[in-house]
Amino acid sequence: MENRPVSLGHRPPKVTQLTPTLVKTIGYGVSTVSVLLLGVVSWNSVKSNPVLLACLLGGMAASVIGMMLRWLSYRIEKAQGE
pLDDT of res. 11: 63
pLDDT tens-place string over residues 25-38: 899 999 999 999 99
At residue 56, does pLDDT exceed 70? yes
For the segment 5-25, the average pLDDT, to the nearest whole number, is 70
Q: Is the pTM of this model over 0.85?
A: no
- Neighbouring residues of 64: CB distance < 8 A, sequence distance ≥ 6: 32, 35
At residue 55, does pLDDT exceed 80? yes
Binned at pLDDT 50, 70 and 90, residue 45 comes out as very high
φ, ψ of residue 5 to 5 degrees: the values are: -65, 140
Residue 65 to residue 61: CA distance in whole angstroms: 6
Binned at pLDDT 50, 70 and 90, residue 51 comes out as very high
